[in-house]
Amino acid sequence: MNGPLVFLLLTNWTGGHSALHPMGPQAGHINDLWWLMFWVCAAVFVLVMVATGFAITRRSLPSGPPGPIPPASRRRMTGAVAGAIGVTVLILFALLIASVSTGRAIASLSSSKAPVIRLTGHQWWWEVEYQDPHPDRMVLTANEIHIPAGRPVLIQLSSNDVIHSFWVPNLHGKRDLIPGHDSEIWIQADKPGIYRGFCAEFCGYQHAHMGLLVIADPPDRFDAWYSAQLQSSVMPATPLQQRGRQLVEASPCAVCHSIQGTQAGGKLGPDLTHLASRRTLAAATLANNRGNLAGWILDPQTVKPGNHMPGNSLGSEDLQAILDYLESLK
Amino acid sequence: MSAEPIDAGPDVEESGTEDRRRLEWTWKYASGFWGWLCEVDHTRIGKRYVVTSLIFFALGGIEALMMRVQLARPENGFLGPDLYNEIFTTHGSTMMFLFAVPMMLGLGTYFVPLMVGTRNIAFPRLNSFSYFVYLIGGLFLYTAFFLNTGPDAGWFAYVPLSGPQFSPGKRVDVWAQMITFTEISSLAVAANLITTIFKQRAPGMSLNRIPMFVWAMLVTSFMVIFAMPAVMLSSLMLALDRLIDTHFFNPANGGDAILWQHLFWFFGHPEVYIIFIPATGIVSTLLPAFTRREVFGYMALVLSLVATGFIGFGLWVHHMFATGLPQLGASFFTAASIMIAIPSGAQIFCWIATLWGGRLRFQTPLLYVLGFIFTFLIGGLTGVMVAAVPLDLQVHDTFFVVAHFHYVLIGGAVFPLLGGLFYWFPKMTGRMLSEGWGKVSFWLVFLGFNLTFFPMHVLGLHGMPRRVYTYLPETGWGDLNLLSTIGSGVLALGVLIYVINMLSSLVTGAPAGNDPWESDTLEWATSSPPPPYNFLHLPTVSGRSPMWLWREDQPIVTGLRSDRREFLITGLMDAEPDHRQVSPGPTIWPFVLSLGVGLTFIVGIFTPWGLPIGAVPCAIALAAWFWPRGDQGHTVLKEKS
Amino acid sequence: MSPADVMTPRNALDVSGLPTTAFGSRDPLFWGVLSIMAIEGTMFALMAASYFYLRGGARMWPPPGTLHPGVGITTLNLAILIVSVIPMYLAAKAAGREDLPAIRLWLIVSTVLFVAFLVIRGVIFHRFTFRWDSHAYGSLVWTTMVLHTVHVVTGTCENLLFIALLTKGPVEDKHMDDLRLNSMYWYFVVACWIPFYCIFFLDPGLLGASIG
Ligand code: HEA
Ligand code: HEA
Ligand code: CUA
Ligand SMILES: [Cu+2]
């Protein structure tokens, strides 16, 4: 079995959210380091296996009683082994230097005018809050981070419960969100696009369904998005939506969810003020469409068993009203 | 050299029939079920360790297959999140704590006393105690597992997820106590092996003549002694946090979640070498037998082991790179992690040199050694990759790391182990395994293994986090996962054939004789399986390969009394005869003590009164265990009054 | 090789003349005890490391409201512990001479000191202004001290057992070595406490808030 070859075939197989498809400077540096290490290690592997192959196919030894290695071959072998160890030390030293300089390179990204985003991990969703000196210019959303393409962005990480880990393979390596240890990470996307992220640290039942999207917009689109998010929730435009809003305000939903401009002010679940502007539901688990939304509201425990939102028994009219309303929250 | 001088070796067949009869009587095994509880013979207990840990291996393997079935397709419904989490945690914990470590220590228990040429392990009763504590730990975990109380926070149980707030119920407590049981057991074995190796080597076996496997067990034992207290302490703290509301790991009250990670990995990293180093010892034992040459570079190999042992304590932080350490500190641990490749490389090079200089016999054990070189090399190289902080930030907690550690654990430890068991099976049972089926199982295991785990590297790079019970179809991970699952089936078939080969050879295998492989170490100087006293006359040693160097005039030890369990104590450095001692015989008290310990910790899950409640039977058992009975052949200074 | 050959001095290493007891590092048990000391020493060292780790991350250490249980009483207790080494040492010496009455005497003396130590330690526990569940500081101090106290209690029990044995018999020469190892282990138990005394009771943060 030829490891490296198979590897090459396989690594080009799937695209998407791969550490080997860097879309930002840090992922790019790491990608370079990866390929350096890959080729060096592949070479080491081939050399060692070739040596082993030679060793086991050598057929020139006379038979005789078992015992120590004859001094003549011992001397040759000592030389060879010592040489190999020497080469090993050199290679390792080179790899160490490559690793440290890559570390420097990825740490150098920063900017004083960068957007600052506070990312809080919850079991099993992400709270996203854009920081601003003016409290009324802060934006609160969930499971979706919009960033301006081509600019560094600072993400401040903290956790509300257990350890999570923020990882967007196309952009950068991961960084843990540890309760009691706030930390930060810089990211940058070179090109507009949608990059999938994952929670990488095991965090309980629904660790598997704790994804997020990083959406890199061209700067003007980002600004537009940001101003839209600053708005309070839209007013219901139809009687059905109006009814939906009343239902949400009066039902348990409001205990856990906030919708700005309404009486819903709960903090236990994702903010729903601009729910309809988001692409996914339940931490990048479902596409955000009417069917999925209905399924989620009625029975979140089937979609994500164990998650912290209880199921709801709603009459079909009530459900339609709530759906109409939530779908209007652009 | 023919087999003759070996037969006439330390265990001289025709000589001393009278002596033999008396030894037979003095050392005879305790019989019946009661006797099973009382037995203190190291081969008996070693065999128990091996068989028990194999059973746990099968259980862990079945769990692995269940995980593989679940992951074969996206959004598969075979296991739900709850069960999946329980199963991967139990799989990891079983494989590390109930299979790999006890298996290695069990082989040590069985073979170290034979290889150093003595009659029994240094503290036979402690040995019996170790086994029972281990057994209780394992049974406890699986009883809980089947009562739906199996641990589910991962094999390193990170707080706060494993803490009182986020893991109510008893699941994590089961994990913490299972750790305590297995670590007590391992620590006791380690102390036992160190003492045996230091004080009971055959006359003439100076430090530079100790067999490589024994060196490996010595280094391992030292690592156990300095690493395992960390996990005992951290699991104690966790248990206290959960039981009596201490705050070691609670940031709201001055505790710290990272403290857990430091303590756990301060143990956890050495742990992987505790598994790996005995495996290297096995490789260095197999090579001479199948290349018919002493292993090349004895000094280099010993130094590599010792260096690995030391450096192994300086790497733990490489499991924590993603927590966001200061750059400089992280680079230090990268450097240390990379440095450990040097002794590993040195060992690999010495083994290749041995192959080069030898006359090979391509029997199953040698195939496993070659398979080991191939797979461990891959695992080691990916280890060097993940040691680089930037790269690790990408692949940490993904299937890339899962691939790394199965390559080193299975390729680096289980392959040598399967080779070693194949090699030692005749010694332990008196029967040969079938060579043909051995080869078949090797190829299935080897191919199945690579098919299972190679694709995981790619999955990890493509973003698949570990410990996910399922994944979405649009991730594109389905095909490689399916491939991996198919591979695990092939691997399981290989293991199954290996097991069947063992079971059927117990009955139908060809009789082995004393030394079927013409090996070089002393366990082959006695019958298969060895008699309870191991050797009729303890051997003396004049070089590194005592069996190959055995000559007619090689002295044997005489003058040990055969009417009591006498054995020889020798000097630490040069193994010169020093004095004689009497080895204790069978007794029930170690078993009773293990029950007391079990009671302490199991009750301790529910109430802090576990300690005082358990202390009573423990104290009684200890007092009875140590109370002198005057059967040790000592001079009495004061009569009983 | 014939049976007769086995008996010829040329190829037999006759060990029948060797003694059946040996002291100190020649005895395997010494290595067993040393291993236990290494294990527990590591455990205590990690406990101290944890203490400093948490201390380094804390805003206030010890937490506000923590009072020193008394510089005098804690120091007195340390002194008793250190003094107890003397009779234990003398007991070991007496064991070397196989002087049974002297051993028993010194064991009794040291046991009295142990008990005094335990009583005072109880008072110290009582004086603590915090519990194990008050905060991480409390958890650490309590756990370490309880662990150490368990060692002292075990040592006391062992001494009592030896005293009983010396009184009742049968006493064998082998016990002399056990007694010496018992003393060796005790030195270890004492040595373990000294750093913790310094860490816990000489902590500048705590000395500032002394109650006695
Ligand atoms: C038998 C067990 C074993 C062994 C031997 C190793 C060996 C090594 N391991 Fe591995 N490791 C594990 C078991 C093991 N590991 C486990 C179980 C985990 C995961 C735990 C968990 O998270 O659940 C882990 C995780 C792990 C991590 C953390 C990854 C992460 O979670 O993000 C790291 C990071 O540095 C690492 C590094 C290494 C290194 C550098 C070696 C080195 O010792 C390898 C050295 C060997 C070689 C390099 C090959 C031979 C050398 C030559 C032929 C010389 C020529 C080579 C060169 C020039 C490069 N290991
Ligand atoms: C020595 C250690 C060891 C060994 C040998 C194995 C062996 C295997 N492991 Fe394991 N594994 C770990 C240690 C080990 N593992 C650890 C530490 C983890 C991390 C856990 C965590 O994250 O907390 C892990 C995690 C882990 C995962 C990741 C889970 C996840 O993150 O979601 C996977 C997934 O495929 C896996 C698969 C396998 C497979 C297929 C095998 C196969 O090699 C198994 C082969 C064996 C068999 C198939 C048994 C065959 C037996 C029979 C056929 C029955 C015979 C019957 C009788 C004798 C009665 N393992
Ligand atoms: Cu959050 Cu995994
Ligand atoms: Cu490690």
CA-nearest of A162, A263, A146 to A214 is A146
3-state helix, strand, coil in chain A (%, to 5): 45, 20, 40
Distance B65 CA to ligand 2 centre (A): 7
pLDDT digits (tens, 9 = 90+) for B531-577: 999 999 899 999 999 999 888 788 889 888 888 899 999 999 999 99
For chain C, the average pLDDT equals 89
Residue nearest to atom 12 of ligand 2 (CA): B92
Q: Does residue B235 sit in helix, strand or coil?
A: helix
pLDDT of residue C4: 34
pLDDT range class, residue C210, cuts 50, 70, 90: low
Over range B47-65, report the average pLDDT: 97
3-state helix, strand, coil in chain B (%, to 5): 65, 5, 30
Q: Do B373 and A169 touch (CB under 8 A)?
A: no
Distance B433 CA to ligand 2 centre (A): 25
Residues of B in contact with A169 (CB under 8 A): 394, 461-463
pLDDT range class, residue C16, cuts 50, 70, 90: confident
pLDDT of residue C17: 86
| pLDDT > 60? residue B128 | yes
Contact criterion met (CB below 8 Å) for B300 and B307:
no
pLDDT of residue B633: 64
CA-nearest of A123, A140, A179 to A309 is A123
Distance CA(B172)–CA(B156), nearest Å, equals: 11
The partner residues of A116 in beta bridges, in order of sequence, read: A154
Q: Do C17 and B559 touch (CB under 8 A)?
A: yes
| pLDDT > 60? residue B13 | no
The token pair at B607 is: 């109430």
CB contacts under 8 A, C 27-46 vs B, are 27-28, 31-32, 35-36, 38-40, 42-43, 46
pLDDT range class, residue C7, cuts 50, 70, 90: very low
Distance from CA of residue A214 to its chain's centroid? 9
Neighbours, chain B (3 or more CB pairs < 8 A)? A, C
| CB-closest option in A44, A175, A206 to B322 | A175
CB of C179 less than 8 A from some CB of B: no
pLDDT of residue C90: 96
pLDDT of residue C67: 87
Distance CA(C81)–CA(C119), nearest Å, equals: 12
The token pair at C68 is: 């020193």
pLDDT digits (tens, 9 = 90+) for A207-245: 999 999 999 999 999 999 999 999 999 999 999 999 999
pLDDT digits (tens, 9 = 90+) for B219-264: 999 999 999 999 999 999 999 999 999 999 999 899 999 999 999 9
pLDDT of residue B2: 32
Distance CA(B276)–CA(B216), nearest Å, equals: 9
Q: Work out whether strand B556-558 and strand B566-570 pair parallel, antiparallel, or are unpaired.
A: unpaired
| pLDDT > 50? residue B80 | yes
pLDDT digits (tens, 9 = 90+) for C109-159: 999 999 999 999 999 999 999 999 999 999 999 999 999 999 999 999 999
pLDDT of residue C79: 96
| CB-closest option in B195, B254, B553 to C136 | B254
Query: How would you write A133-146 as a 3-class SS string?
Result: CCHHHCEEEECEEE
| pLDDT > 60? residue B459 | yes
Which residue out of B265, B344, B389 has the highest number of ligand 1 atoms within 8 Å of its CB and is therefore the one to mutate? B344
Contact criterion met (CB below 8 Å) for C205 and C61:
yes
CA-nearest of B286, B361, B356 to B521 is B286
Which residue out of B59, B76, B95 has the highest number of ligand 2 atoms within 8 Å of its CB and is therefore the one to mutate? B95
Q: Which residue has the higher pLDDT, C169 or C67?
A: C67
Distance CA(A135)–CA(A71), nearest Å, equals: 81
| C-alpha neighbours within 13 Å on the C-beta side of residue A88 | 24
Q: Do B559 and C16 touch (CB under 8 A)?
A: yes
* ipTM score for this prediction: 0.94
- The minimum-distance atom of ligand 3 relative to the CA of A164 is 1
Distance CA(B597)–CA(B608), nearest Å, equals: 14
User: What is the interface size between A and B, counted as CB pairs within 8 Å?
Assistant: 275
B52 min Cα distance to partner chain A (Å): 30
Contact criterion met (CB below 8 Å) for A299 and A259:
no
Over range B421-428, report the average pLDDT: 97
Distance CA(B585)–CA(B601), nearest Å, equals: 28
Phi-psi region of B41 (alpha: psi -120 to 50; beta: other; left: phi over 0): beta
B105 min Cα distance to partner chain A (Å): 29
pLDDT of residue A61: 66
Which residue in B has a C-alpha nearest to residue C167's C-alpha? B641
Q: Kindly tell me the burial class for residue A15, based on how many C-beta atoms sit within 10 Å of its own C-beta (0-12, 13-18, 19 or more).
A: exposed
Distance CA(B478)–CA(B346), nearest Å, equals: 39
Mutate to test the interface with B, among C10, C130, C139 (most CBs of B within 10 A): C139
Q: Do B580 and C166 touch (CB under 8 A)?
A: no
| pLDDT > 60? residue B367 | yes
Q: Which residue has the tokens 């092939």?
A: B490
Distance CA(B487)–CA(B479), nearest Å, equals: 12
Distance B315 CA to ligand 4 centre (A): 6
Is the minimum distance from the CB of B569 to ligand 2 under 6 angstroms?
A: no
Share of chain B above pLDDT 70, in %: 96
Residue nearest to atom 53 of ligand 1 (CA): B345
Which residue in C has a C-alpha nearest to residue B245's C-alpha? C133
CB contacts under 8 A, C 128-157 vs B, are 132-140, 142-143, 157
pLDDT range class, residue B8, cuts 50, 70, 90: very low
- The minimum-distance atom of ligand 2 relative to the CA of B89 is 23
The token pair at C203 is: 């902590």
User: pLDDT below 50 — which residues of chain A?
Assistant: 1-14
pLDDT range class, residue B16, cuts 50, 70, 90: low
pLDDT of residue B639: 72
pLDDT digits (tens, 9 = 90+) for B469-479: 999 999 999 99
Distance CA(B164)–CA(C73), nearest Å, equals: 36
| pLDDT > 90? residue B597 | yes
Mutate to test the interface with B, among C5, C40, C50 (most CBs of B within 10 A): C50
| pLDDT > 70? residue B14 | no
CA-nearest of A226, A304, A300 to A257 is A300
Q: What residues have their beta carbon closer than 5 A to ion ligand 4?
A: B 269
